Structure 1
Amino acid sequence: MTGHLTITDEDATRVITLRRPEKKNALTREMYRAMSEAIDSAQGDPSIRCIVITGGPGVFTAGNDLEDFLKDGTSNTDTPRASDAVKFLYSLAHNTKPIVACVDGIAIGIGTTMLLHCDYVVASSAATFSTPFIHLGLVPEGASSLLMPRAMGHQRAFATLVMGRPLNAEDARSAGFVNAVVAPGHTEAEARKVAREICALPAEAVAISRKLLKTPPEDLTRRIDQESHLFGERMRSTEAVAAFKAFFARKKG
């Protein structure tokens, strides 16, 4: 387990908490591996009926650590996009347990696209959602190019994924991928309440019904692979490397 992530099992719920506040919970490869393991190990455990993913109060996640992106984009190896992130996405695609996410603050990049794999999303009124892939010279990931148009229609998905327009909590609820909006600081309590409600339902009926509702895992992983291949190519593009360098130059300035 990484120091930037905590996993706790409470009653029938596994709670995955991102804990890297100094970097706005930006995701490292170690964090991806830990999240993947937490999800995978819950699959065969009948005592775990639901999973909650939270970033704690004030932030969800700033997405992938851009320093990793810059290293990958400028390295001399032919390694494709970080396999740890893809493994995490595979874990989400193959997951059979209901996932409740609670977002209190920013959800950037994969911080937004992972929510499309969740079953119930609680956001605070301070939450914001953005997918600035194209601004970084990249392409969408996490099967978001498949799931987001299905959730909110092509036009809104285009504005979000291609134009990079951010959404606030009410926008996200109107778009269909946030269920409830609560006051800042109250997302986790609401998420745990929802998890208890899910855990009280007949487990087999929930699992079968969820499977009927979800996009088949093979469709998700096929799109994840397609996006990941293009993402890896784009990370080495002149556009992307220039965008990463400009980002870090602005931070230093």
Structure 2
Amino acid sequence: MTGHIIVTDEEHTRTIAMRRPEKKNALTQEMFLAISEAIEQAQSNPDIRCLILTGRSGVFTVGVDIRDFLDAARTEADPVTPRGPIIFLQSLVNNKKPMIAAVDGAAAGIGATMILHCDYVLAGATASFSCPFVQFGLVPEGASSLLLPRTAGHQRAFAMLVMGRTMSAEDARQAGFVNMVVPTGHALNEAKKAARDICALPPDAVASARGLLKLPAEDLLRRIAQEEHVFTERMRSAAAVAAFENFLSRSKM
């Protein structure tokens, strides 16, 4: 696996940590594939009963590396091979084991989207959640257009997914997709405690109960495919390319 993804197994829990501090844990194609592999391998390992997603260096992840967006926009689309983010999102949907998110710092773009697929979310007091897709000329992805209104209501979802408004950790708790706000830097420790609680329960009963709570995988995958069709079209638009180039030029200053 890429060195930017750290996978550790302890006490029946697999922790998947994003670590690319120089880019605020911005996710590359290789990182998406590495996380997907770690999730998929856990499915057939009976010793792993719970998964934790987290970031390192005081940030969760600022989302997809904009350079990857620009490179994809400038190359011919491959209708056969899905993009790394889609493979990753599919692995989240197909995951059958409880997944906890431990969020410190920024969770932006797909960093916020992946939270919606988790079963239990701990956020540090200074964590933030944002989906600036429309500002880049894009649209929501990862079934967020289905999951966020269901959790937080249409108005909050519109503010976040269309207007690009940022939610604080407390805002996200009130919106329903964060379980608990903890002191900054303590999210991972609290996530490990929650994982121990989950792992102490009968695994078959946990799996059955979780399955009853989740939306059908086919509904989520269908919405991801719908979003991806529009997302890919928008990603190649002049407005989106200009937004990517402007962002990258500003980041060099």
> What TM-score, normalized by structure 1, do the two folds share?
0.97
CA distance in 2, matches of 1:87, 1:138: 19
2:41 maps to amino acid:
S
Give secondary structure in 2 for the equivalent of 1:228.
helix
Q: Give the gaps of 5 or more residues in structure 1.
A: none
Hey, what does 2:244 align to over in structure 1? 244
Hey, what does 2:123 align to over in structure 1? 123
Hey, what does 2:77 align to over in structure 1? 78
Hey, what does 1:41 align to over in structure 2? 41
Identity %: 61
Contact 2:21 2:57 in 1 (8 A): no
Q: How many Å apart are 1:121 and its aligned residue?
A: 0.4
Deviation sequence 1:231-252 (CA, Å, 0-9, x none): 1100111110111111122223
Contact 1:133 1:164 in 2 (8 A): yes
Hey, what does 2:11 align to over in structure 1? 11
Listed as ranges, the matches of 1:173-252 within 5 Å are 173-252=173-252
Aligned CA RMSD, in angstroms, stands at 1.1
Say if 2:32 is the partner of 1:32: yes
Give secondary structure in 2 for the equivalent of 1:126.
coil
Q: Give the gaps of 5 or more residues in structure 2.
A: none
Q: How many Å apart are 1:56 and its aligned residue?
A: 2.4
- Where does structure 1 differ by over 4 angstroms across 4 or more consecutive aligned residues? none
Hey, what does 2:94 align to over in structure 1? 94
Contact 2:15 2:54 in 1 (8 A): yes
CA distance in 2, matches of 1:113, 1:207: 23
CA distance in 2, matches of 1:169, 1:110: 17
CA distance in 1, matches of 2:228, 2:183: 36
Give secondary structure in 1 for the equivalent of 2:46.
coil
1:78 maps to amino acid:
A
Contact 1:173 1:180 in 2 (8 A): yes
Distance 1:20 1:57, change over 3 A: closer
CA distance in 2, matches of 1:192, 1:98: 12
Q: How many Å apart are 1:82 and its aligned residue?
A: 5.6
Deviation sequence 1:42-72 (CA, Å, 0-9, x none): 1111111000011024100010000000111
CA distance in 2, matches of 1:251, 1:197: 42
Range with greater deviation from structure 2 (240-249 or 211-220): 240-249
Contact 2:170 2:181 in 1 (8 A): yes
Work out the number of aligned pairs and report it. Answer: 252
1:52 maps to amino acid:
I
Give secondary structure in 2 for the equivalent of 1:14.
strand
CA distance in 1, matches of 2:57, 2:30: 22
CA distance in 2, matches of 1:57, 1:26: 12
Give secondary structure in 2 for the equivalent of 1:181.
strand
CA distance in 1, matches of 2:74, 2:88: 23
1:203 maps to amino acid:
P
Hey, what does 2:156 align to over in structure 1? 156
